[in-house]
Structure 1
Amino acid sequence: MTTAPAAHATPATPRRRDATANRSALIAAAQTVLARDPHASLDTIAQAAGLSRRALYGHFADRDSLLREVIAIGAGRFNAIAEQVDDPDPRVALAQLAARLWREASAVRASANIALDDAHVADTVRALAPLRQRIRTITRAGVVAGAFRGDVPPELLAFLIEETARATLRELRLTTADADAAVVRVVLSIAGLSWTEQVALLDTHPEILAGDAPVAPGARREGAG
């Protein structure tokens, strides 16, 4: 009597691959849906991903955990920009940072929308720690060089720059024409530059508002601190 060959166990790899694909689909759907409506429900996101709400819960415990993932993805891109800004003139560096972050916020609209929601401030602050440190470094350098206002401590000035930029983003909601110029000018105003100084700076450095290519990832920044 011939014994039939033992059935081999089905490899787990396809299942893991499907799980990875589903998670990626959910994140992509969340980015697309939340870009249009930052208050979209989990049902809407799951439907956009072509999955059930039950499948979504297999990857994210609740809506907040999914939103934290979207915030983290956007923050990674924002932090990378902060690392790339390297102009030795703190005025130019701050203007470059504001303009590039605005353009990136337009690309990662979901993350930007969530970041503007007061309910997620704590998550956003933690995720953007490298960016916030870079702003403090630029601000401190500007105050020491006399390029920025010196009537308030650098740490407070950096905080004012952050909060003013955030308030401006909330008002503009990523749709206003020439918004990058508006954001740059508001930030420079808080730093202490007059409107005439801003005009002169932007005339001298038109690349700031021209969408210049960022420094390649991993490029070393001189005088980083």
Structure 2
Amino acid sequence: MTTTAPARRPRKDAAANRAGILAAAATTIASDPHASIDSIARAAGLSRRALYGHFDDRDTLIRELVASGAVRFNAVAASIDDADARVGLARLTARLWREAAHVQVAAAIALDEAHVAQTAEALAPLRRTVQAIVAGGQAAGTLRQDLTAATLARLIEETARTVVTRLDAASPDAGALAVRAVLSIAGLSWREADALLVAQPELLEEH
């Protein structure tokens, strides 16, 4: 006797709805860090009840957004292996710029005090990478040494986040501006940053 495999469309539809909710939440929260669950449901084209069929509450939804974004950011950080800290910072910034939309969401979520600790924990690998790059650059004398590695790494993080949230991701020059801003706070003059990018033109192709 031949049996027919059960249809799997409901599961696929559920996965599509869940992905749609996350996408809607990202867009909504990027513009309003305190967007309500009703606003997110409307953006996803679903009822509040339908949304709760996928996520228990708003915090559960936010936690998943934080986790998914952190996976992307930490993977980018793990891909950086340049011996020159200046090149490493430029490459890291350029690659993160490709994730600008996700960075904007993470920045918005970070403004919500309820998720500061979770965001910090989720992004710990990225932060360790930035601090290691900075420490290496300071030891080599290629990055500014008037601040501790931890402080400079934090300033670089804040600069990058500010640039990403303020610039129009559609602008063709935005990625280059982000890279230059990070190099500037790291201690390079605009001439030094320009010379580095001329010598390493592929860096600007990263964004």
The reply to whether TM is greater than 0.5 is: yes
DSSP-derived class of the 1:142 partner: helix
> Is residue 150 from structure 1 mapped to residue 142 from structure 2 by the alignment?
no
Letter in 2 for 1:168: V
Question: Displacement, 1:194?
Answer: 1.2
Three-state SS of the structure 1 residue aligned to 2:205 is coil
The answer to whether residue 21 in structure 2 is matched with residue 26 in structure 1 is yes
1:169 positional shift: 2.6
Greater shift after overlay, 130-139 or 58-67? 58-67
Larger mean CA deviation between 133-142 and 113-122 belongs to 113-122
* Cα RMSD (Å): 2.8
Higher helix share: 2
- Unpaired stretches in structure 1, ≥5 consecutive residues: 1-10, 213-225
In 2, are the aligned partners of 1:90 and 1:142 still within 8 Å (CA)?
yes
Corresponding residue for 1:114? Answer: 108
Tell whether the 8 Å contact from 1:81 to 1:97 is kept in structure 2 after alignment: yes
CA change 1:210–1:24 in 2 (3 A) is: closer
Match of 2:133 in 1: 138
Which string of whole-angstrom CA distances, capped at 9 and with x for unpartnered residues, describes residues 125-160 of structure 1? 222111111101101110111111112221221112
Residue of structure 2 aligned with 1:56, choices 51, 55, 65: 51
TM-score of the superposed pair, with normalisation by structure 2: 0.81
Contiguous gaps of at least 5 residues in structure 2: 1-5
For these two proteins, the number of residue pairs brought into alignment is 200
Amino acid paired to 1:192: G
Q: What is the identity percentage for the equivalent residue pairs of Structure 1 and Structure 2?
A: 56
Change (3 A) 1:96 1:138: same
Among 68, 74, 81, which residue is 1:79 paired with? Answer: 74
- What is the CA distance between 1:186 and its match in structure 2? 1.3
Q: Does the 8 Å contact 2:33/2:109 carry over to 1?
A: no
**Secondary structure of the residue that 2:83 maps to in structure 1?**
coil
Quickly say closer, same or farther: Cα 1:19–1:176, change in 2 above 3 A: closer
Query: How far apart, in 1, do the equivalents of 2:119 and 2:142 lie?
Result: 29
Paired AA for residue 105 in structure 2: S
Q: Structure 2 vs 1, CA of residues 40 and 155 (structure 1 numbering), >3 Å: closer, same or farther? A: closer
User: TM-score, normalization: structure 1?
Assistant: 0.75
Task: Report the Cα distance in structure 2 between the residues aligned to 1:41 and 1:200, rounded to whole angstroms.
Answer: 47
- Residue 104 of structure 2 contacts residue 165 of structure 2 at CA under 8 Å; is this kept in 1? no
C-alpha distance in 2 between matches for 1:14 and 1:198: 53
Name the residue aligned to 2:3: none
Counterpart residue type for residue 134 of structure 2 = T
Q: Distance in 2 between matches of 1:173 and 1:125?
A: 25
Equivalent residue for 2:191, pick from 196, 199, 211: 196
Partner of 2:159: 164
1:181-223 per-position Cα deviation (integer Å, ceiling 9, x unaligned): 11111111111111111010000001111137xxxxxxxxxxx
Q: How much does 1:173 deviate?
A: 5.6
